[in-house]
């Protein structure tokens, strides 16, 4: 992977994975999160979920948003850099200092490995706190070959929701609620990415063209096979 070409595609996108404000509102609503909550947005990317997190915990909510990729934090800072309700940090989510009443982790826990990620986040939760994370899963026991081959190459540890829930429970969490992210949440990611691919395509060099092809193929796979895989959004409480 040519990382500079990868970030040429991904720079300035509104978000870096599927999700919408409605998903944040649903998760924090079912968890009964209170105004004034201390929130960690772990792997926040460009900060797409910060506004919904603040809305769901107003008045008095505070978001600590952490991402390992400095340009994403710079992008988030354009909107949130002067807001006292938000602290932006470039770094590893495992280094964030809790405790937090809510940990929100959209499409980022898998970077740590699911078990290690759950373990690391549990240690940062305040008593009675809520961990919400989204994770790519197979929705069927036997996905078709293009789905299985492509996704296991990108994410070898991918499994079914049943397997995901087994790991969650083995790591000492209760599942308060869980749902698959709807199509609209995926389009909130792929729609702007389609537009950026079309804009970058003319004049792209070989490395960028390869990254654009990969992005387009990823979106095409999801649109053709979204009944076979998706993002499970899980709302958890430590037992």
The residues of the shown chain that bind ligand SAM, judged by CB under 6 A, are 15-17, 19, 43-45, 48, 66-69, 72, 92-93, 106-108, 111-112
Least distance between ligand SAM and beta carbon 224 (Å): 21
Q: What does the block give as tokens for 54?
A: 């603040």
Residue among 19 and 129 whose Cβ is closer to ligand SAM: 19
Residue keyed to tokens 């938000």? 86
Residue among 19 and 230 whose Cβ is closer to ligand SAM: 19
Residue among 72 and 173 whose Cβ is closer to ligand SAM: 72
Residue among 92 and 218 whose Cβ is closer to ligand SAM: 92
Q: What share of the chain is helix, strand, coil (3-state, %, to 5)?
A: 45, 25, 30
Least distance between ligand SAM and beta carbon 111 (Å): 3
Least distance between ligand SAM and beta carbon 38 (Å): 18
Can you count the helices (H) and strands (E) in the chain? 9, 7
Q: What does the block give as tokens for 216?
A: 């387009």
Least distance between ligand SAM and beta carbon 203 (Å): 27
Whose CA is closest to 23, among 44, 52, 47?
A: 52
Least distance between ligand SAM and beta carbon 16 (Å): 4
Residue among 59 and 218 whose Cβ is closer to ligand SAM: 218
Least distance between ligand SAM and beta carbon 47 (Å): 8
Whose CA is closest to 80, among 67, 57, 64, 96?
A: 64
Residue among 37 and 66 whose Cβ is closer to ligand SAM: 66
Nearest residue to ligand SAM by CB is 45
Residue 176 sits at φ, ψ, to 5 deg, of -75, -40
Residue keyed to tokens 């996108």? 13
Tell me if residue 208 falls in helix, strand or coil.
helix
Strands (E), the chain: 38-42, 62-67, 86-90, 100-106, 125-138, 173-180, 229-238
């Amino acid at each position: 992977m040519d990382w500079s070409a990868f970030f040429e595609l991904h720079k300035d996108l509104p978000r870096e994975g599927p999700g919408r404000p409605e998903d944040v509102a649903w998760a924090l609503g079912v968890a009964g999160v209170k105004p004034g909550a201390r929130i960690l947005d772990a792997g926040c990317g460009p900060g797409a979920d910060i506004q919904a997190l603040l809305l769901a915990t107003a008045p008095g909510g505070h978001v600590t948003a952490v991402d390992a990729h400095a340009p994403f934090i710079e992008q988030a800072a354009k909107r949130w850099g002067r807001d006292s309700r938000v602290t932006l940090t470039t770094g590893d989510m495992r280094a964030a200092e809790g405790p937090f009443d809510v940990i929100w982790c959209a499409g980022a826990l898998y970077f740590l490995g699911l078990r290690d990620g759950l373990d690391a986040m549990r240690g940062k939760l305040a008593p009675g706190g809520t961990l919400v994370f989204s994770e790519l899963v197979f929705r069927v026991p036997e996905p078709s070959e293009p789905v299985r081959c492509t996704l296991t190459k990108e994410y070898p540890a991918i499994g079914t929701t049943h397997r995901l829930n087994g790991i969650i429970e083995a790591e000492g969490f209760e599942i308060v609620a869980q749902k698959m992210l709807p199509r609209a949440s995926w389009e909130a990611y792929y729609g702007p990415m389609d537009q950026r691919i079309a804009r970058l395509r003319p004049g792209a060099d070989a490395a960028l063209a390869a990254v654009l092809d990969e992005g387009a193929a990823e979106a095409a796979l999801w649109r053709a096979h979204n009944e076979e895989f998706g993002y499970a959004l899980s709302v958890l409480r430590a037992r």
